[in-house]
Chain A
Amino acid sequence: MTTSKGMTLHLKVWRQKSASDSGRFESYTVEGVNQAASFLEMMDVLNEQLLRKGQEPVAFDHDCREGICGSCAMMINGCAHGDLPRTTACQLHMRHFKDGETIVIEPWRARAFPVIKDLVVDRSAFDRIIAAGGYVSTNVGNAPEANSIPVPQHDAEAAMDAAACIGCGACVASCKNASAMLFVSAKVSQMAHLPQGQPERSMRARKMVAQMDKERFGACSNTGACEAACPKGIKLSNIALLNRELSRAQVKD
């Protein structure tokens, strides 16, 4: 239960004025943190404290604060979104920390995700990968009656498992090679499980992987760090599927 005083936390936060600044850790102490608060609400308390002192608050990305928009992106004590499994930073609550604890907070670190300011990084590479082929090329007006194409329930469920990706980039941030394979494979896998995704199946895998390489994400070495860090439980088996899709595409060419 929350004590009336709340928790005291020592924070080491990465501060970086802009992309060209080299950046450094700054130490702060936050007092009176309610255990029922989320990690981002704790960051709000820190920022309100900095503002009262006339200092610049820590810039960080966030929006829905219910674990679905994929905006929040911070390494907490070396783990993407903190070490609680299947949890985004916004859904991580302070009851999982100890009073008096020191917490290290850093941005995602990957060549393809340059820092914009403090904890905010540029993830537009993900958009460009999707633009390369992460969809079914159907125009509005083309669609047949929805029930005219049955989708076996287990395929729909498998597609949904993969489609749950929120595009936060935790997989990239956790990978020692900063590979985006889990992200790419999730989309490829969603579409490969559905009849609607079949006509462009080979082209989609090839184009998305080509764009991923162009964005300078690293190669996959199957350590599984991505799966462990993924707040939505996207499975490593999607990467195996993506590799099969690529081989299949080569055979078909």
Chain B
Amino acid sequence: MSTHPKLNSRIPEGPIEKKWGNRKFENKLVNPANRRKHTVIVVGAGLAGGSAAASLGEAGYRVKLFVYHDSPRRAHSIAAQGGINAAKNYQNDGDSVYRLFYDTIKGGDFRAREANVYRLAEVSVNIIDQCAAQGVPFAREYSGYLSNRSFGGSQLQRTFYARGQTGQQLLLGAYGSLMRQVEEKNVELFPYHEMLDVVVVDGKARGIVVRNLRTGELAVHTADVVVLGTGGYGNVFYLSTNAKKSNCTAAWRAYKKGAFFGNPCFTQIHPTCVPVSGDYQSKLTLMSESLRNDGRVWVPKAKGDKRNPKEIPESERDYYLERIYPAFGNLVPRDVASRAAKAMCDKGHGVGQTGLAVYLDFADAVKRIGKEGVAKKYGNLFEMYEKITGEDPYEVPMRIYPAVHYTMGGLWVDYNLQSTIPGLFVIGEANFSDHGANRLGASALMQGLADGYFVAPYTIANYIGGEKLGAVSSDHDACKAALAETKARVEKFLSIKGKQSADSFHRRLGKIMWDECGMARNREGLKRAISDIQKLQKEFWSDLYVPGAGAELNQELEKAGRVADFLELGELMCRDALEREESCGGHFREEYQTPEGEALRNDEKFAHAAAWEYQGEGKAPLRHQEELEFENIHLAQRSYK
């Protein structure tokens, strides 16, 4: 098996628990007085981008931060509800860095790089310290010490939380640190700026092309390093729990400039979301996994039972997660819970008008800890559910169904979080590195902050310290070419003058992706999807309608650019899903399953990360492999029974 020379994972030498320490020691340093001579561009201000920009600013680099929102505080990390994992072992229930590492590798179905995951577990404890110091109002016990709860895929309590708004509180903590650096002029903030391309000079990332969303002005900004913290691409499905503006453009533009794309088909379908109720729907809303601490999932034993859930006696209910997975019960990992819900609905046990929902019932919890006890833990989630559905979940069980939530795939990065383009670092959900084929709950916040506060600042210093980076001005030929290309693209969108809106194409793409590349995939469906998406791409470029002009706030133009990129990414995801002839984590190929219907991995052929290389317009991309070596954790069939 040949590995592409660019796919050097740069894993440090030594035993797993020494690797990060060894790397930090061998890293080049940059003298504080020299740091201000170096400019770092950060794109995105979520937990990853925001924390990286703040940390790099504190270190003394000149940081330019670009966000498409009006404020860095609006990044989608803000919507994360349930919590953040850390191996503090405050509950004295047997947690350790090694166990968090083990759970994460196993939860990811053995498709993540051991060394990265170990480091993630190792720095997790520092994250909690950092956030507490910032004044993040974590939940506390009466003693004043930090409180924990459980999340899926783990048998202990290691999740820290701030009610159902953990993402918001962590993000506001990072945002505070960031705004302090803005005030101290270490970080220059560019709100309402969307990145539309990477500028590569002599093989290195040296800048970006941005569009000022308020004025429409296009410009190039140059730097020594470019960091993408631009989030995931779940919105390729149109309906997902992502925010409406979340998109793949920054990552996709980088891919087209030479950054390899890792495991694009690895998508997380979250089991507990408010079900789809009609065509008007613009997004799906997550109900935090933390609800599975106290909520019990069930369906009627009888098929097509349309009775009011309260009229269905205990003996006629199937608490199927507790039945099939007695060891983990309602707290099995997300991929397992989602597939089980789909299987129940496919067999005709689904509830609600569409039959595409299962119950998440809190009656037992209300009996045990009272309505007030439940409200204290989940009040804001219950309120949100009631607002959306008009039903009171204290009285009637919630109806839930899986929905697209997170993408484990992303730009391929080495141990230093550097992509295959030197000088282009990718952090948080935008990279592919830590979650393998399935992410465990409360681990996205952990990864975003680990990358931004504790990893990227070290590895970026090493890059700057080790490279001779001459100045690149914005009138360099590569800058001018990238700017001209972007300008032509904007003009193209405006000049098609067809009949269909960007959203209408997006909905159709989403349907193809959900039907053929969603919770269950098969060879024929994926082939059909690739051909359907190619047809849709042609239709898009000939019948798109974007009103207005380029030189103004034009939200339709913004959408058009994002949908154009989703159309290409969707095709790549299907190709990746087609080539991966095994089931693992969130990637479930119907052809590869155990007799009980569980995911069946093929470690002999697929214990690797797929990294896709762009080959040019109209050419099939190349698939490369990074072999994954499991030196510490024995490759085994996952079992949560």
| Complexed CA–CA distance, A135 and B178 (Å) | 9
Give residues 451-488 of B contacting A (CB, 8 Å). Answer: 453-454, 457
Inter-chain contact B282/A40, CB cutoff 8 Å: yes
Q: B447 an interface residue at 8 Å Cβ cutoff?
A: no
Residue of B nearest to A146 (CB): B132
If A132-B183, A135-B180, A143-B129 touch, whether A71 touches B74 (CB-CB below 8 Å) is: yes
Neighbouring B residues of A144 by C-beta, 8 Å: 129, 133
| Complexed CA–CA distance, A55 and B548 (Å) | 9
If A63-B244, A87-B387, A93-B388 touch, whether A70 touches B182 (CB-CB below 8 Å) is: no
Which of A41, A93, A159 meets B387, CB within 8 Å? A93
CB distance from A169 to the nearest CB of B (A): 10
Give residues 71-85 of A contacting B (CB, 8 Å). Answer: 71
| Complexed CA–CA distance, A151 and B138 (Å) | 9
CB distance from B274 to the nearest CB of A (A): 10
Inter-chain contact A145/B129, CB cutoff 8 Å: yes
Q: B545 an interface residue at 8 Å Cβ cutoff?
A: yes
CB distance from B241 to the nearest CB of A (A): 8
**What are the interface flags for A57-72 relative to B under an 8 Å C-beta threshold, 1 for contact and 0 otherwise?**
1010111111111110
Q: B377 an interface residue at 8 Å Cβ cutoff?
A: no
| Complexed CA–CA distance, A86 and B380 (Å) | 11
CB distance from B434 to the nearest CB of A (A): 20
Inter-chain contact B281/A127, CB cutoff 8 Å: no
CB distance from B238 to the nearest CB of A (A): 12
**What are the interface flags for A133-163 relative to B under an 8 Å C-beta threshold, 1 for contact and 0 otherwise?**
0111111101111110111110011011001
Q: B143 an interface residue at 8 Å Cβ cutoff?
A: yes
Give residues 542-564 of B contacting A (CB, 8 Å). Answer: 545, 547-548, 552-553, 555-556
Inter-chain contact A135/B243, CB cutoff 8 Å: no
Inter-chain contact B132/A149, CB cutoff 8 Å: yes
Inter-chain contact A36/B278, CB cutoff 8 Å: yes
Inter-chain contact A135/B176, CB cutoff 8 Å: yes
Residue of A nearest to B142 (CB): A153
| Complexed CA–CA distance, A38 and B388 (Å) | 8
Residue of A nearest to B383 (CB): A86
Residue of B nearest to A57 (CB): B556
Neighbouring B residues of A210 by C-beta, 8 Å: none
Residue of B nearest to A150 (CB): B144
Inter-chain contact B388/A197, CB cutoff 8 Å: no
Question: What number of residue pairs across chains A and B have CB atoms under 8 A from each other?
Answer: 216
Neighbouring B residues of A151 by C-beta, 8 Å: 140, 144
Residue of A nearest to B501 (CB): A51
Inter-chain contact B135/A153, CB cutoff 8 Å: no
| Complexed CA–CA distance, A190 and B142 (Å) | 19
CB distance from A61 to the nearest CB of B (A): 7
CB distance from B213 to the nearest CB of A (A): 10
Inter-chain contact B553/A120, CB cutoff 8 Å: yes
CB distance from A145 to the nearest CB of B (A): 6
Q: B503 an interface residue at 8 Å Cβ cutoff?
A: yes
Q: B134 an interface residue at 8 Å Cβ cutoff?
A: yes
Q: B172 an interface residue at 8 Å Cβ cutoff?
A: yes
Q: A44 an interface residue at 8 Å Cβ cutoff?
A: yes
Q: A18 an interface residue at 8 Å Cβ cutoff?
A: yes
Neighbouring B residues of A236 by C-beta, 8 Å: none
Inter-chain contact A66/B129, CB cutoff 8 Å: no
Q: B163 an interface residue at 8 Å Cβ cutoff?
A: yes
Q: B280 an interface residue at 8 Å Cβ cutoff?
A: yes
Inter-chain contact B547/A66, CB cutoff 8 Å: no
Q: B189 an interface residue at 8 Å Cβ cutoff?
A: yes
Inter-chain contact B137/A194, CB cutoff 8 Å: yes
CB distance from A199 to the nearest CB of B (A): 11
CB distance from A68 to the nearest CB of B (A): 5
Inter-chain contact B387/A91, CB cutoff 8 Å: yes
Neighbouring A residues of B79 by C-beta, 8 Å: 64, 66, 68-69
Neighbouring A residues of B69 by C-beta, 8 Å: 63, 69, 71
CB distance from B355 to the nearest CB of A (A): 17
- The residue among B78, B390, B556 with the most chain A CB atoms within 10 A of its own CB is B78
Inter-chain contact B504/A146, CB cutoff 8 Å: no
If A59-B553, A153-B141 touch, whether A66 touches B384 (CB-CB below 8 Å) is: yes
If A63-B243, A64-B243, A70-B74 touch, whether A140 touches B453 (CB-CB below 8 Å) is: yes
Inter-chain contact B135/A136, CB cutoff 8 Å: yes
Neighbouring B residues of A54 by C-beta, 8 Å: 545, 547
Neighbouring A residues of B70 by C-beta, 8 Å: 61, 71, 122-124
Inter-chain contact A190/B278, CB cutoff 8 Å: no
Inter-chain contact A51/B556, CB cutoff 8 Å: yes
Which of A65, A70, A138, A143 meets B282, CB within 8 Å? A65
Inter-chain contact B146/A146, CB cutoff 8 Å: yes
Inter-chain contact A146/B129, CB cutoff 8 Å: yes
Neighbouring A residues of B504 by C-beta, 8 Å: 48
Q: A240 an interface residue at 8 Å Cβ cutoff?
A: no
User: Interface majority SS on A: helix, strand, loop or mixed?
Assistant: loop
Q: B128 an interface residue at 8 Å Cβ cutoff?
A: yes
Inter-chain contact A66/B176, CB cutoff 8 Å: no
Q: B317 an interface residue at 8 Å Cβ cutoff?
A: no
Inter-chain contact A131/B180, CB cutoff 8 Å: yes
Inter-chain contact A137/B180, CB cutoff 8 Å: yes
CB distance from B405 to the nearest CB of A (A): 12
Neighbouring A residues of B51 by C-beta, 8 Å: 140
- The residue among A70, A87, A152 with the most chain B CB atoms within 10 A of its own CB is A70
Residue of A nearest to B173 (CB): A135
Inter-chain contact B282/A147, CB cutoff 8 Å: no
Inter-chain contact B179/A127, CB cutoff 8 Å: yes
Neighbouring A residues of B453 by C-beta, 8 Å: 140
Neighbouring B residues of A143 by C-beta, 8 Å: 126, 129-130, 132-133
Inter-chain contact B169/A163, CB cutoff 8 Å: yes
Inter-chain contact A124/B143, CB cutoff 8 Å: no
If A41-B280, A91-B387, A153-B144 touch, whether A59 touches B555 (CB-CB below 8 Å) is: yes
| Complexed CA–CA distance, A190 and B72 (Å) | 20
**What are the interface flags for A109-134 relative to B under an 8 Å C-beta threshold, 1 for contact and 0 otherwise?**
00000001100101110110011101
Neighbouring B residues of A172 by C-beta, 8 Å: none
| Complexed CA–CA distance, A149 and B137 (Å) | 13
Neighbouring A residues of B134 by C-beta, 8 Å: 135-136, 138, 196
Neighbouring B residues of A159 by C-beta, 8 Å: 135, 137
If A44-B503, A146-B88, A152-B140 touch, whether A68 touches B168 (CB-CB below 8 Å) is: yes
If A63-B245, A65-B244, A132-B183 touch, whether A56 touches B547 (CB-CB below 8 Å) is: yes
CB distance from B181 to the nearest CB of A (A): 9
Q: A167 an interface residue at 8 Å Cβ cutoff?
A: yes
Which of A65, A135, A138, A167 meets B283, CB within 8 Å? A65
Neighbouring A residues of B180 by C-beta, 8 Å: 131, 135, 137
| Complexed CA–CA distance, A225 and B145 (Å) | 37
**What are the interface flags for B111-146 relative to A under an 8 Å C-beta threshold, 1 for contact and 0 otherwise?**
000000000000000101111111101111111111
Please name 22 pairs of A and B residues whose Cβ atoms are closer than 8 Å in the assembled complex, sorted by A.
Answer: A56-B547, A56-B548, A57-B556, A63-B69, A63-B245, A64-B76, A69-B76, A69-B78, A87-B387, A93-B390, A122-B70, A127-B179, A130-B176, A140-B177, A143-B129, A147-B88, A150-B140, A150-B144, A153-B141, A156-B138, A167-B73, A197-B135
Q: 18 extra interchain contacts, Cβ-Cβ under 8 A, other than A137-B180, A146-B128, A166-B168? A: A34-B278, A38-B282, A51-B545, A54-B545, A55-B547, A57-B547, A57-B555, A64-B243, A66-B79, A68-B79, A116-B214, A131-B180, A135-B134, A143-B133, A190-B137, A194-B137, A196-B133, A196-B135
Enumerate chain A interface residues (CB-CB to B < 8 A). Answer: 2, 18, 33-34, 36-38, 40-41, 44-45, 48, 51-52, 54-57, 59, 61-71, 86-87, 91-93, 95, 116-117, 120, 122-124, 126-127, 130-132, 134-140, 142-147, 149-153, 156-157, 159-160, 163-164, 166-167, 190-191, 194, 196-197
Q: Which 6 residue pairs spanning A and B have beta carbons closest together?
A: A150-B144, A135-B176, A143-B133, A143-B129, A160-B137, A146-B132
Enumerate chain B interface residues (CB-CB to A < 8 A). Answer: 51, 54-55, 58, 69-74, 76, 78-79, 88, 90, 126, 128-135, 137-146, 162-163, 165, 167-169, 172, 175-177, 179-180, 182-183, 189, 191, 214, 243-245, 277-278, 280-283, 285-286, 383-384, 387-390, 453-454, 457, 499, 501, 503-504, 545, 547-548, 552-553, 555-556
